[in-house]
């Protein structure tokens, strides 16, 4: 075994008595990777709870979703209102028609175990905002109201997405305010929501540091920038473990930009440091010799022209039978591919077994 991956509970990733440590005692080169999906989920959950205004927003959102979905009658009312809304928009030419278009949907709940659910929850409310508003208003006036988780991605692309995400967040922090406020103004205008004057003093100040600031300053600095800073801090703190060194070193096989990252010295040091039992001294000499020919040969072969990932490179080495010409490099690439990015799909499979293993 050369790669092990699961979530970050202390009994799993503990340095001395955790499952990964016990495996490591038996297999010194079975490197542990804390599931990227779990780390992203923990990051987003922390960001959604760490800033009070954002926590209040998601709490309100969950209250709305729970209230509407907890009753089949309320759910039917929402669905009927949304169908009427779609029909009116189609008649007015505001929506295009076609096969599978304009399907009715329902509000989505933000879950604690799937990081994409927060986006789906917000998106569903935006899409159904008019119908939801009408439903709640109808219930207030006419009825009793007593209670108001890519399956396939390789290590290098995962690290690249992480870097891009941090860069995009920083771009939003520095230059994204104007675009955001324009979208908010458009949304408020569409749904008859009174938007506060951004140049007016912020009237809900509860702390001395908030006295005398404008609405724009509060929403931009105290909410938007605070959320982004919290998110960036969480990403930095949750993606600093020792396994990242192994993952970063594996970037030497990144085929993008004509194998710009490929260096013979890095390849040999990678094998020597992390997989010494898989490469004898003779194998290391062969690996060094193969590195001298590998990139030149790949550049001349048009079958590798559009290779974009390590898994794709491995597949094409087999298809072109070059794996037999570069056996040491092929072996090292296979070892890199044993390192897991995420174990979320596996855990969902185990969760589904609970449905099968029931009395039903």
Q: What is the structure's pLDDT at 147?
A: 33
Residue pair 334/25 in contact (Cβ under 8 Å)? The answer is no
- Reported as a single tens digit per residue, the pLDDT across 129-138 is 888 888 777 7
| pLDDT mean across residues, the chain | 81
Q: Please state the φ and ψ torsions of residue 47, each to the nearest 5 degrees.
A: -65, -35
Q: How far apart are CA 176 and CA 224, in angstroms?
A: 10
- Reported as a single tens digit per residue, the pLDDT across 240-290 is 666 677 777 777 888 877 888 888 888 898 898 888 889 998 999 999 999
Q: State mean pLDDT over 31-38.
A: 84
Q: Indicate the DSSP class of residue 214.
A: B
Task: State the angle between helix axes of 36-50 and 226-238 in degrees (0 to 180), rounded to the nearest 10.
Answer: 150
- Reported as a single tens digit per residue, the pLDDT across 294-319 is 988 988 888 888 888 888 899 999 99
Q: How far apart are the first and last CA of the chain?
A: 37
Q: How far apart are CA 158 and CA 66, in angstroms?
A: 34
H/E stretch holding 33 reads strand 31-34
For residue 109, is pLDDT > 60?
yes
For residue 146, is pLDDT > 50?
no
Q: Which of the four pLDDT bands, split at 50, 70 and 90, describes residue 205?
A: low
Q: Which of the four pLDDT bands, split at 50, 70 and 90, describes residue 148?
A: very low
pTM over 0.85: no
Q: How far apart are CA 227 and CA 50, in angstroms?
A: 8
The string of DSSP letters for 149-212 reads ------HHHHHHHHHHHHHHHHHHHHH-HHHHHHHHHHHHHHTTPPPPPTTSBPTT--SGGGTT
Strand, coil or helix: 44: helix
Q: Please state the φ and ψ torsions of residue 323, each to the nearest 5 degrees.
A: -60, -25
Q: State mean pLDDT over 44-72.
A: 81
- Reported as a single tens digit per residue, the pLDDT across 15-27 is 888 999 999 899 8
């Amino acid at each position: 075994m050369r790669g092990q991956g699961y979530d970050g509970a202390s009994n799993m990733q503990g340095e001395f008595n955790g499952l990964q440590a016990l495996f490591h005692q038996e297999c010194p080169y079975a490197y542990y990777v804390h599931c990227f999906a779990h780390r992203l989920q923990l990051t987003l959950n922390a960001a959604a709870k760490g800033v009070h205004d954002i926590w209040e927003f998601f709490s309100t959102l969950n209250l709305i979703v729970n209230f509407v979905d907890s009753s089949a009658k309320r759910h039917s009312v929402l669905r009927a209102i949304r169908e009427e809304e779609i029909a009116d928009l189609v008649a007015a030419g505001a929506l295009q028609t076609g096969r599978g278009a304009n399907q009715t949907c329902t509000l989505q709940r933000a879950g604690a175990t799937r990081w994409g659910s927060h986006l789906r929850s917000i998106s569903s409310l935006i899409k159904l905002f008019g119908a939801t508003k009408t439903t709640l208003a109808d219930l207030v006036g006419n009825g009793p109201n007593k209670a108001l988780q890519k399956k396939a991605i390789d290590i290098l692309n995962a690290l690249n997405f992480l870097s891009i995400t941090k860069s995009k967040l920083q771009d939003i922090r520095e230059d994204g305010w104007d675009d955001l406020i324009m979208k908010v103004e458009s949304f408020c205008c569409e749904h008859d929501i009174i938007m506060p004057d951004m140049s007016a003093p912020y009237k809900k100040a509860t702390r001395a540091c908030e006295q005398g600031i404008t609405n724009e300053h509060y929403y931009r600095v105290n909410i938007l920038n605070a959320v982004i800073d919290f998110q960036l801090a969480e990403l930095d703190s949750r993606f600093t473990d020792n396994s990242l060194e192994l993952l970063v070193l594996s970037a030497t096989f990144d085929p993008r930009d004509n194998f710009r990252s490929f260096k013979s010295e890095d390849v040999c040091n990678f094998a020597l440091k992390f997989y010494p039992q898989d490469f004898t001294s003779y194998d290391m000499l062969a690996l060094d010799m193969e590195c001298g020919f590998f990139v030149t040969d790949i550049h001349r072969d048009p079958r590798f022209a559009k290779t974009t990932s390590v898994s794709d490179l491995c597949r094409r080495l087999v298809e072109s039978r070059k794996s037999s010409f570069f056996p040491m490099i092929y072996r090292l690439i296979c070892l890199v591919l044993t390192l897991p990015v995420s174990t979320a799909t596996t855990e969902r499979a185990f969760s589904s077994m609970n449905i099968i293993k029931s009395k039903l």
